[in-house]
Amino acid sequence: RKEVEQDPGPFNVPEGATVAFNCTYSNSASQSFFWYRQDCRKEPKLLMSVYSSGNEDGRFTAQLNRASQYISLLIRDSKLSDSATYLCVVNSPGNTPLVFGKGTRLSVIA
């Protein structure tokens, strides 16, 4: 089983739609979780961290389910500018590098 798995998509949704991505991780000792956004041919940038209690930032909501070892990202009222690849990132204990999923591609269509 891969360390971090994501549905690659693409997810093609109309403007205004609500879309959700899931990501599963294999290491139950993982401590911190993040969503990064990567635009085409650009570097990834941190979108949001994922906290145990769940957290919201405007139209974006991230949730963590430790029992089932998955995290989710919900985007409400999708905009054209949300079109990008969303990378799930997990940090295991100790001084180990972050582990990236392969990303889920989102295309928001007018």
Supply 78's token pair.
């999708």
Q: Rule CB under 8 A: is residue 43 a binding residue for other proteins?
A: yes
- In sequence order, the β-bridge partners of residue 64 are 71
Q: Smallest Cα–Cα separation from 21: which of 52, 50, 1?
A: 50
DSSP helix/strand/coil, 70: strand
Member of 41, 58, 68, 110 binding other proteins (CB under 8 A): 41
Binding mask 16-35 for other proteins (x = CB under 8 A): ---------------xx-x-
Are 13 and 83 a contacting pair, CB within 8 Å?
no
Cα 36 to Cα 43: distance, rounded to the nearest angstrom? 10
Q: How far is the CB of 69 from other proteins (least distance, A)?
A: 17
Q: Would you say 10 or 16 has its CB closer to other proteins?
A: 10
CB of 58 to other proteins, least distance (A): 18
> For 77-91, what is the HEC assignment?
CCCHHHCEEEEEEEE
Q: Is 66 in the site for other proteins (CB under 8 A)?
A: no
Which of 13, 17, 74, 98 touches other proteins (CB under 8 A)?
A: 98
Residues contributing to the site for other proteins (CB under 8 A): 8, 31-32, 34, 36, 41-46, 49, 87, 89, 91, 95, 97-98, 100-103
